[in-house]
Amino acid sequence: MTARSDCLFPGGCFVVISMPDITVFCEDSFHEKFIGAVLRRLDAEKRTGVKLRFLSAHGGLPRMQSEFTNFLRDLARDRQSLPDAVIVVVDANCLGYTERKKQLDSAVEQYPQFKHLVSYAIPDPHIERWMLADAGAFKAVFGRGCTIPQVKCAKDEYKRLLRKEMRESKIDAPLGGEEFAEDIVRVMDLGHVETNEASLGRFLKNAKGLFNGWKNG
């Protein structure tokens, strides 16, 4: 949150409060729902009044990298309004967090003037694992706890695991669980998952840093 003082005439000053804007660049709708839920929860807790804008790039990582680069190019040419933060969301898959971040950094390196705005949410290996990261939250939503195995890289492994856990809870989830992302995040123990789920912890620390900066600014 930023403020400026505007004086239109002697003795006639007023303070304009500018709410921070976050652009969230997502790989798919599951990312949008989960990350959006986290940001809205932090906003409610910090009372920062952020404005969220979601951009989704469907068609895999190459398409996303291309569209993210185009987005930065448009910012550089003033074709997009400049946000206060940009969060890029993409699964690590089998590359791991560090390698996936390097791939995304390659786009930012072309526009270094925006480097300070960009941070990442990189579920390792997939967003579905984050849905299983807090057994207590899962139980609160689905009526039973869940188990989360050690990290596996097999294609669609966590989609299968999440569907299995929901099916055993006798809950119908035709969208594969993304329709429950808001419910999970609402009751999630953020301190617990920040400590115990590394990739989610990185995102939460970065996001909390943003909100704390705006709250105290």
Q: Tell me the domains of the chain and their CATH numbers.
A: 21-209 (3.40.50)
Q: Quote the CA–CA distance of 122 and 180 in Å, as a whole number.
A: 20
Q: Which pLDDT belongs to residue 217?
A: 65
Q: Which pLDDT belongs to residue 58?
A: 73
Q: Which pLDDT belongs to residue 151?
A: 77
* Contact criterion met (CB below 8 Å) for 177 and 131: yes
For residue 109 the two structure tokens come to: 């390196």
* Contact criterion met (CB below 8 Å) for 44 and 85: no
pLDDT tens per residue, range 9-54? 455 554 444 689 999 999 889 999 999 999 999 999 999 999 999 9
Q: Quote the CA–CA distance of 208 and 69 in Å, as a whole number.
A: 26
CB count within 10 Å of CB 102 equals 10
> Is 212 in a helix, a strand, or coil?
helix
Q: Quote the CA–CA distance of 54 and 41 in Å, as a whole number.
A: 16
> Is 66 in a helix, a strand, or coil?
helix
Phi, psi (degrees; rounded to nearest 5) at 60 = 90, 175
- Asked if omega into 112 is within 30° of 0 (cis), the reply is no
Task: Pinpoint the alpha helices (H) of the chain.
Answer: 29-46, 61-76, 97-108, 127-131, 135-142, 157-168, 181-187, 190-196, 198-216
> Within the chain, which residues score under 50 in pLDDT?
3-9, 14-17
Angle CA 46–52–54, to nearest 5:
145
